[in-house]
Copies of this chain bind each other. A is one copy, B any other.
Amino acid sequence: MRNTFYSYIEKLQDQISSKLEKVDGKATFQEDLWQRKEGGGGRTRIIENGTIFEKGGVNISKVFGELPEVLRKQFGVEEGDFFACGLSLVLHPINPFVPTVHANWRYFEMYNSSGDIVNQWFGGGQDLTPYYLFDQDAIHFHTICKTACDKHHKVFYPKFKELCDTYFWNTHRNEARGIGGLFFDYLKETEEFTIQDRFNFVKEIGDSFLDSYIPIVEKRKEIQFTKHQKEWQEVRRGRYVEFNLVHDKGTLFGLKTNGRIESILMSLPPIVKWKYNYLPEENSQEEILLKVLANPQKWII
């Protein structure tokens, strides 16, 4: 399964980065291959200063070897080897009417001293962070998520949608990072699902990504925006930074286990502003967004 999934994310990285280059029309991905001293490495692909994408990354990596101490503690095991691989992407568009998007799909294996797999699971998800809210974009994004989920189990969409709202919550601001999507973790083999079923599900979600996001980009990329709207985006990007550096487990895990910093922090936006006590005008589009972020919605039934 580790080879199957890694081959899949290699192809998916190619497919997504080549499509994003076409959509952007100007910028191309810069590729950096890196090695992890303790085992593994990755293929980082970064896009900057495009016509559509101000900054973004579509990265894959696999790491393996002895379980780092932080993972031994987390899983309550005294020793053992592990293997983990995944694709992570974040795109920060120039135009404040085009939302930021994040996705991550990953696979994990743990071994006993004989090298047998003692545990294996998938995790991941994708979520959208708009700066101006178009209900129909949120509905489109969630519809693609739900359609992909429904092919595997009726309970997946409502469950993973709720987990997403819970996970991407900026507790110190009492608001969601964005309008959600899917979040799932520890998808293991059960009586109901084989590990192959789990792979098929994650593949379905990964394959649906471009359909969930690109139509929104195409629809909003030409909208004229003012300096004020750009500034609103830059201030809101500050909340994105706050979430990723204070709360996001993936980012903190990477930072605390000597991951490749520049690959992990590709998620941070290119230009960010922090203004003291910056509040939108009453009944403005900006305030409407904040109200929705404070009260995550059901976008589809």
- A48/B256 in contact, CB under 8 A: no
List chain B residues, Cβ under 8 A from A234: 271
In whole angstroms, what is the CA distance A69 to B134 when docked?
41
Q: Which of A14-22, A109-117, A209-217, A273-281 is near enough to bind chain B?
A: A273-281
Interface: A238 (CB within 8 A): yes
- A277/B262 in contact, CB under 8 A: yes
List chain B residues, Cβ under 8 A from A270: 273-275
In whole angstroms, what is the CA distance A276 to B277 when docked?
29
Interface: A149 (CB within 8 A): no
A169 → chain B closest CB, angstroms: 13
List chain B residues, Cβ under 8 A from A106: none
Q: State which size class the interface on A falls in.
A: 20 to 34
Q: Chain B CB within 10 Å — which of A57, A238, A270, A272 has the most? A: A272
Question: Contacts A265-B274, A268-B274, A274-B272: A246 and B241 contacting too (C-beta < 8 A)?
Answer: no
- B269/A271 in contact, CB under 8 A: no
Q: Considering the complex, give the chain B residue whose CB is closest to the CB of A279.
A: B262
In whole angstroms, what is the CA distance A271 to B48 when docked?
18
In whole angstroms, what is the CA distance A173 to B246 when docked?
16
Interface: A266 (CB within 8 A): yes
Number of identical protomers? 2
A-side interface mostly: mixed
Question: Contacts A241-B245, A245-B241, A275-B270: A173 and B261 contacting too (C-beta < 8 A)?
Answer: yes
Question: Contacts A241-B241, A255-B246, A261-B173: A55 and B274 contacting too (C-beta < 8 A)?
Answer: yes
- B252/A246 in contact, CB under 8 A: yes
List chain B residues, Cβ under 8 A from A268: 238, 274
Interface: A98 (CB within 8 A): no
- A255/B172 in contact, CB under 8 A: yes
Question: Contacts A172-B255, A271-B271: A57 and B276 contacting too (C-beta < 8 A)?
Answer: yes
Interface: A30 (CB within 8 A): yes
List chain B residues, Cβ under 8 A from A261: 172-173
With A46-B277, A172-B261, A272-B272 given, name 17 new contacts (CB 8 A). A32-B277, A46-B276, A55-B274, A57-B276, A171-B256, A172-B258, A173-B261, A234-B271, A241-B241, A242-B245, A245-B246, A246-B255, A262-B277, A265-B274, A270-B275, A271-B272, A271-B273
Top 6 closest pairs, chain A to chain B, by CB: A245-B245, A268-B274, A172-B255, A46-B276, A262-B277, A272-B272
